[in-house]
Amino acid sequence: MVILMLGAQGTGKGTVAGLLSESLGWPQISTGDIFRKNIKEETPLGVEAKKYTTKGELVPDEITVPMVVDRLNEKDAQAGAILDGFPRNLAQAEKLDEILAQKGKKVDLVINLTSPKDEIITRILNRRVCSNQACKTTYNLTMHPPKEQGICDKCGAQIVQREDDCDEAAIQKRLELYDEKTLPLVEFYSQKGVLRTEEISEKTGRLGKEVAEDILQGIK
């Protein structure tokens, strides 16, 4: 089964995907993590990707798609996978359909997360992630803080703030870019009958844990 996570940054995709991954035993495949791994290892694709990430630009499809394909081919992704951050545009979505069809698979469920914009900005500014790349647990200082300040609950590594989570103006730009490039995917998957939209909001009290639990009930 292939699950996709849609939603602007800060809507809780990483949190919900992580909870689903933990319960189902399927890998949470994040393009951000794939980029960082390839950049750190200085693979040919990583070297090319770094030229764009350092300027705050989206990595072109001809670089992104091969990285994701390589990850989907790994053994732990054969039973099921949760794609977090891919596809980002219609061209990538169409290419993903093509790749999955070659494997006799398809996109089974698309979870589209929404949140009020003011909550998204506050959430991103308060977001922290585990510095251990084998863990990658996400925290929020106001909504989901670690038990011990600055320390990951799961592995004991230091939690840090990503550089691109510090600047409110940069966050606004990323949200505008999402609306322009990625929001059309909502209609694309809605027409395929696989879209499920969920709102995560402090105002309603419905957060990532509650959403993940409801989704799991429909899968199991």
| Residues 207/115, Cβ–Cβ less than 8 Å | no
Interatomic CA distance for residues 219 and 146, integer angstroms: 29
- Annotated active-site residue in 40, 154, 162, 203: 162
Structure tokens at 106: 């398809």
**Known catalytic residue at 88:** yes
**Known catalytic residue at 174:** yes
- Annotated active-site residue in 71, 123, 128, 174: 174
- Annotated active-site residue in 71, 123, 127, 128: 127
| Residues 138/14, Cβ–Cβ less than 8 Å | yes
Helix axes 90-102, 61-72, angle to 10 degrees: 30
- Annotated active-site residue in 71, 88, 123, 136: 88
Residue 144: count of CB within 10 angstroms of its CB = 19
Q: Is the peptide bond before 87 cis (omega within 30 degrees of 0)?
A: yes
**Known catalytic residue at 196:** no
Give the E-state strand segments of the chain in sequence order.
Answer: 2-6, 28-30, 81-84, 107-114, 127-130, 138-140, 159-160, 195-199
- Annotated active-site residue in 13, 123, 128, 136: 13
Structure tokens at 193: 């009958």
Helix axes 61-72, 44-53, angle to 10 degrees: 130
The residues annotated with a catalytic role in the active site are 13, 88, 127, 162, 174
